[in-house]
Amino acid sequence: MTTTKGTGSNRIIETAQPFTSFVQDAETCPNLSNVYNVSEIYLAFDNWHTVIDDLLYVYSAHVDPRHKDNSIIRIFGIISRHQLETTSPVYYCQMYFDGSENVSVIESVIYTIGEHRKPKFRMIELACNVSSDPWSLPPMLVSITTQTCAEPNNHLAVRQSYKNGFKTNFTLCLDGVLKHGTTKSSLIVEWIELNMLLGAEHIFVYNLSGSALLDPYLNYYERKGQLTILPWNIPIQFNEDLDEFGHDFQLVWNYAQTTAQNDCLYRNLFVARHLAYLDFDEFIIPQEVDVWNWNDMMEHAKHNCTNRPGSYVARNAFFLTNEINDSNVDEFNLTTSLHTTMNDRLKKPGFRSKHILIPEHVRHVNIHYVEEYYDKSYSTCVVLPSVGHLHHYRELTKKGSKHTNLSALKYKPYLIRQIHHVYDEIK
């Protein structure tokens, strides 16, 4: 039995069983044993797992301690759209606790995460209750099965990111995945260094098929503790030549982008105070001359918002990469220096916009907006274009009014110095 909330691509399908668990021990489920070792837990981290081939795959499991009555395990993955919409599937969480012979089993609640098109697979969250105490000891591992006592073929290590407290003010998640078409090291280094100048203290990158040419640069930042590279080895075969961007939209939306986004959200719950989402051709740039970073930009933006901000949305402005400002040519051919011609028409909030959110107030995130706030008293603060907006660097051939925007040039001297330092270190 399922209940449906909402309509269209943002509907939520819930497998109808409230958060009430039952515990089954080895006598009840003789085929289950609560035996695992360190190597099993290690292998359960940061990998895609097959639950049912060609039907359900899961990537990560996170403890969410925010529920007032109990903590919840949230598991992110992708599911066959046909199965989800025609068979009312039921999945169970088998939870394995350290130092206990009991295995806790509960039916999951299935949440769909909105998307723009209708490929074969869609992104989901499976939510399972843990206990009546939100801060009690969570399970070490969780397995997803189709029957309560079925022998599992998958084990996910349960992340408790919140346990060690806040580590950063701003963390950045690559909004998408690193794939074979990105090979230019100077582009990656500029993106990392400028975002760190703007306030990012740590960056997460999901690596599908990144070029080996980038390894020296990515490894450099990883060694410095500024970058986390996560494997994105989805166990399905992609056709990377279906469209101009190499996306197999008929199979899964942009390589399960929103699964990566929500994984990054929960990795940083009570770890990062703010979380930004940007692709390699995007920067959120403060527009006021005396404002240099995201923190100050958001302080200015708050004055124009009457709500309690749970996120800050920067509207999209295209910067034309097919037009070059020759007076700004430099030794690295910086994207933000060469391309200063901006399309006058900014997109409406939610259309190609990107955001900086406060993780503790967000339940689900989508590509261009927060899909659902955890606390309904929080909402989206739209940053005025005069305060800051998204610089989206892309080739555009359509005619339209445009002007020169030099707001990113204030970072150029610092950026060149930092990039020199990086290249010297890597030599």
Taking a C-beta distance cutoff of 8 angstroms, is the pair 315, 346 a contact?
A: yes
Q: How far apart are CA 14 and CA 88, in angstroms?
A: 9
Taking a C-beta distance cutoff of 8 angstroms, is the pair 123, 13 a contact?
A: no
Q: How far apart are CA 274 and CA 170, in angstroms?
A: 5
Alpha helices by DSSP H, 28-164: 38-43, 81-86
Per the listing, tokens 């270190």 go with 425
Q: What are phi and psi of 421, to 5 degrees?
A: -60, -45
Q: What is the pLDDT along the chain (427 residues), one digit of tens a residue?
A: 333 333 333 333 443 333 333 444 433 465 676 656 555 666 667 889 999 998 999 999 999 989 877 889 999 999 998 888 888 899 999 988 877 777 888 899 999 887 656 788 989 999 998 865 555 678 888 999 999 888 899 999 999 888 888 999 999 999 989 987 777 899 999 999 999 999 999 999 999 988 899 999 999 999 999 999 999 998 887 665 554 444 555 678 788 999 999 999 999 999 999 999 999 999 999 999 999 999 999 999 999 898 899 999 999 999 999 999 878 778 889 999 999 999 999 999 989 999 999 999 999 999 999 999 998 899 999 999 999 999 999 998 777 899 999 999 999 999 999 999 999 999 8
pTM equals 0.90
Task: Show the beta-strand stretches assigned E in 220-289.
Answer: 227-231, 272-278, 282-286
Q: How many CA atoms lie within 13 A of 107 on its CB side?
A: 12
Q: Where are the domains of the chain?
A: 2-159, 163-426
Architecture of domain 163-426: Alpha-Beta Complex (3.90)
Strand ranges of the sheet holding 272-278, from the earlier edge strand across to the other edge: 227-231, 202-207, 168-174, 272-278, 354-357, 308-314, 378-382
Residue 278's SS3 state is strand
